[in-house]
């Protein structure tokens, strides 16, 4: 019997080293799922919502650096992938999405479930190719895979079910995919220029991001030579913060005051592998120098005086021998001391409350950090769980942290934990979920049972869309549309066949977290945490509050509502 296009499709995926496909099956995908049935390498991971499939594939790709795959059937099936794919694309992780399409003969007729996937996926992919006939296979799929790997982004292959079921024209995969490790670094002249700039500056601050992965030692050596504090952007946290005497925390709304001041008080800011997005937090007067592997990133977020295209590790290796030891140490000392104070301030609010009733979310995150495994993989929902993760989880070079940090979509944590756990069965995987976030894609609690994925889900139950409430308060408008009337999440967990436990008081937080973390299977722990309370001084007008919102939000997020009142008095009424 002749080989089917679908069989060839699966053979190409196997050739690319793919181990699993996350998705929901459907008529138009039947050819591909049937071809999976008869081989051993690639597993089908059945999820309950395609958005979850895309988030899960994104987490797998983030952790392994290798291609991960998700799939959706025609029309609504693959449409559901889109939000998760946006997240993968913005995180720049290599993901292939298989978007099955309606029968070829019906395309363009407004047929049942017809959409135009080429248009739909254009914005969240680097490549979006259609297999309109068997003669295009395996080439289109191979181009897609090669694009996802080399651009580190999303590639989509659209294939009508009818084409997948037809006889293949070509017999075998054509491409052996290589994991190219090119060295990209600025030219010798540029490295000399960069060294000269740095050798002539005294107060230097480094802003590092996810592009510093794999260059920890070089970065620390650089900071030592330059006597430069290192501020990290959120996606760089897992790669920069640990074993690093120069780290002074994050900047931005969720950041530490020390990160903010180290950036604002330098005379040269050296950005390395970061796309930190918030313009307000960049210094206006300092010289700004940026190193990034992608030239199009240079100057995207701030003014730019000197830009260099290069991989962090290779560039720093070329640069370090050309640097002189900076004799000016005061900037670093001040910044590190400031960090120590800011850290103590945050730790002060991460304690069990004295009233024995209120559970501070900061305390939960602090205890979680203490109890979690040395090599735990954390995911955190967009909303306040991102704040607690950023501030209270300590990285150590083995732990990993994944969020929807750039696309900023709610409900990411549990789906990303699914991909993390299934691709890393021996590791402890912990999702820090919001009550709103968990509820949004809650159907996939069933996936934990179905795949026996022993994920631990911590639900920060504040009965609100709390992050939105903070934003409203900071803008001086009243909370509205943010209440959540929640179910008992532990009962929902039990109904889904997974362990559900609750901590009702601060005293119960540690034993209950320990119980859930030590449980040999999927577990959900619900913790009712304090909803942030803040009343904005009544005499502030909307316009005043609006202009001042940034500072207010920072103070609220620092857990110090009183600071807002003080700041307001000082800045608005003087
Ligand atoms: C609710 C919420 C609040 C947030 N608040 C904050 C906040 O206060 N502070 C904060 O920092 N973030 C915050 N974030 C996250 C923020 O939106 C960004 O996602 C984050 O700051 C980007 O981090 P990054 O620069 O490390 O990573 P990316 O944006 O991924 O940038 C990495 C850069 O490195 C480059 N690169 C990749 N590989 C290499 C290499 N080998 N060599 C050189 N360059 C390379 C890439 O081209 C890219 O330009 C928040 C997110 C959410 C959801
Ligand atoms: C899909 C999506 N919808 C809406 C938002 C806007 N938003 C950002 S944070 C947030 C609240 C999240 O609530 P929850 O998960 O309960 O976490 P909390 O902040 O309450 O801890 C909302 C609605 C978003 N980022 N993504």
The confidence score (pLDDT) of residue 567 equals 41
Q: Which positions are annotated as active-site residues?
A: 50, 112-113, 382, 467
Task: Compute CA 182 distance to the chain's CA centroid, rounded to the nearest angstrom.
Answer: 25
Binding site membership of 380 for ligand 2 (Cβ less than 6 Å): no
Ligand nearest to C-alpha 409: 2
Binding site membership of 381 for ligand 2 (Cβ less than 6 Å): yes
Give Cβ neighbours of residue 474 (< 8 Å, ≥ 6 apart).
545, 549, 550, 552, 553, 556
| Rounded-to-integer distance, Cα 418 and Cα 55, Å | 9
Give Cβ neighbours of residue 525 (< 8 Å, ≥ 6 apart).
456, 457, 458, 459, 500, 501, 502, 503, 512, 513, 515, 516
Nearest to 55 by CA among 19, 22, 8: 22
Residue to substitute in 254, 365, 410 for testing ligand 2 pocket (most ligand atoms within 8 angstroms of CB) = 410
Which residues are 269's β-sheet partners? 205, 288
Q: Is there a contact between 60 and 422 (Cβ–Cβ < 8 Å)?
A: yes
Give Cβ neighbours of residue 193 (< 8 Å, ≥ 6 apart).
306
Peptide bond into 138 cis (omega under 30): yes
The confidence score (pLDDT) of residue 168 equals 98
The confidence score (pLDDT) of residue 552 equals 56
- Buried b / exposed e over 133-156, threshold 16 CB at 10 Å, is ebebbbebbbbbbbbbbebbbbbb
Helices 384-392 and 466-474 sit at what angle, rounded to 10 degrees? 90
Binding site membership of 60 for ligand 2 (Cβ less than 6 Å): no
Task: Compute CA 377 distance to the chain's CA centroid, rounded to the nearest angstrom.
Answer: 12
Please provide residue 228's backbone torsions phi and psi, each rounded to the nearest 5 degrees.
-115, 130
Give Cβ neighbours of residue 510 (< 8 Å, ≥ 6 apart).
367, 371
The confidence score (pLDDT) of residue 462 equals 96
Name the residue with the closest Cα to ligand 1, atom 45.
Answer: 211
pLDDT tens digits for range 287-313: 999 999 999 999 999 999 999 999 999
pTM equals 0.94
Name the residue with the closest Cα to ligand 2, atom 5.
Answer: 410
Query: What is the C-alpha end-to-end distance of the chain, expressed in Å?
Result: 85
The confidence score (pLDDT) of residue 548 equals 47
Handedness of CA 276, 281, 284, 287 (dihedral sign): negative
Q: Is there a contact between 425 and 63 (Cβ–Cβ < 8 Å)?
A: no
| Rounded-to-integer distance, Cα 327 and Cα 422, Å | 50
Q: Which atom of ligand 2 is nearest to the CA of 462?
A: 20
> What residue ranges of the chain have pLDDT lower than 50?
533-545, 547-548, 561-574
Residues with CB under 6 A from ligand 1: 209-211, 233-236, 250, 252-255, 273-277, 292-294, 297, 311-312, 382, 386, 405-406, 408
Tokens of 375: 């090599």
The confidence score (pLDDT) of residue 555 equals 54
Which residues are 202's β-sheet partners? none
Binding site membership of 387 for ligand 2 (Cβ less than 6 Å): no
Ligand nearest to C-alpha 233: 1
| Rounded-to-integer distance, Cα 263 and Cα 270, Å | 10
Binding site membership of 403 for ligand 2 (Cβ less than 6 Å): no
SS (H, E, C) 463-505: CECHHHHHHHHHCCCCCCCCECCCCCHHHHHHHCCCEEEECCC
Binding site membership of 272 for ligand 2 (Cβ less than 6 Å): no
| Rounded-to-integer distance, Cα 53 and Cα 412, Å | 11
The confidence score (pLDDT) of residue 179 equals 79
Tokens of 49: 């919502």
Which residues are 429's β-sheet partners? 377
With 0-12 CB in 10 A as exposed, 13-18 as middle and 19+ as buried, what is 386? buried
Please provide residue 44's backbone torsions phi and psi, each rounded to the nearest 5 degrees.
-95, 120
Element (H, E) at 332: helix 330-348
The confidence score (pLDDT) of residue 269 equals 98
């Amino acid at each position: 019997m002749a080989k089917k296009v679908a069989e060839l499709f699966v053979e190409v995926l196997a050739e690319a080293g793919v181990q699993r496909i996350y998705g929901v099956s459907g008529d138009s995908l039947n050819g591909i799922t049937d071809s999976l049935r008869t081989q051993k390498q690639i597993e089908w991971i059945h999820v309950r919502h395609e958005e979850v499939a895309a988030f899960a594939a994104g987490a797998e790709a983030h952790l392994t650096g290798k291609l991960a795959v998700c799939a959706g059937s025609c029309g609504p099936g693959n449409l559901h992938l889109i939000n998760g794919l946006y997240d993968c694309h913005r995180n720049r992780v290599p993901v292939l999405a298989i978007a099955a399409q309606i029968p070829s003969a019906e395309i363009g007729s407004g047929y049942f479930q017809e959409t135009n996937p080429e248009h739909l996926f254009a914005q969240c992919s680097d490549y979006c190719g259609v297999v309109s006939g068997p003669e295009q296979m395996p080439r289109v799929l191979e181009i897609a895979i090669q694009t996802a790997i080399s651009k580190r982004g999303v590639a989509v292959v659209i294939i009508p079910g009818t084409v997948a079921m037809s006889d293949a024209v070509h017999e075998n995969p054509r491409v052996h995919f290589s994991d190219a490790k090119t060295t990209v670094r600025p030219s010798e002249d540029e490295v000399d220029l960069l060294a000269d700039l740095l050798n002539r500056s005294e107060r230097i601050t480094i802003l590092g991001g996810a592009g510093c992965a794999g260059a920890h030692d070089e970065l620390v050596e650089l900071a030592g030579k330059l006597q430069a504090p290192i501020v990290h952007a959120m996606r760089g946290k897992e790669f920069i913060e640990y074993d690093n005497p120069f780290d002074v925390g994050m900047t931005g709304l969720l950041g530490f005051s020390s990160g903010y001041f180290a950036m604002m008080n330098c005379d040269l800011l050296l950005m390395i592998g970061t796309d930190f997005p918030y313009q307000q937090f960049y210094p206006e007067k300092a010289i700004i120098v940026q190193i990034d592997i992608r030239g199009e990133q240079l100057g995207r977020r701030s003014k730019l005086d000197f830009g260099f295209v290069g991989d962090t590790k290779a560039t720093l290796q070329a640069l370090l021998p050309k640097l002189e030891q900076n004799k000016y140490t005061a900037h670093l000392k001040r910044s590190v001391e400031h960090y120590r104070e800011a850290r103590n301030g945050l730790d002060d609010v991460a304690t069990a409350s004295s009233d024995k009733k209120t559970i501070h979310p900061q305390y939960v995150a602090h205890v979680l950090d203490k109890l979690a495994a040395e090599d735990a993989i954390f995911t955190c929902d967009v909303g306040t769980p991102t704040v607690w993760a950023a501030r209270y989880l300590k990285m150590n070079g083995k732990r990993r942290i994944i969020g929807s940090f750039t696309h900023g979509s709610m409900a990411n944590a549990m789906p990303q934990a699914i991909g993390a756990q299934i691709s890393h069965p021996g590791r402890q995987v912990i999702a820090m979920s919001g009550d709103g976030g968990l509820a949004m894609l809650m159907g996939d609690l069933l996936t934990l049972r179905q795949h026996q994925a022993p994920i631990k889900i911590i639900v920060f139950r504040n009965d609100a869309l709390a992050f939105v409430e903070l934003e409203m308060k900071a803008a001086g408008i009243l909370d509205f549309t943010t209440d959540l009337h929640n179910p008992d999440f532990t009962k929902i967990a039990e109904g889904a066949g997974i362990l559900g436990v609750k901590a009702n008081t601060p005293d119960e937080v540690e034993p209950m977290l320990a119980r859930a973390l030590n449980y040999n299977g999927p577990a959900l722990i619900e913790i009712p945490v304090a909803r942030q309370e803040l009343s904005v001084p009544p005499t502030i007008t909307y316009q005043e509050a609006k202009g001042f919102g940034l500072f207010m939000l920072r103070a609220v997020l620092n857990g110090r509502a009183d600071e807002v009142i003080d700041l307001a008095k000082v800045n608005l009424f003087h």
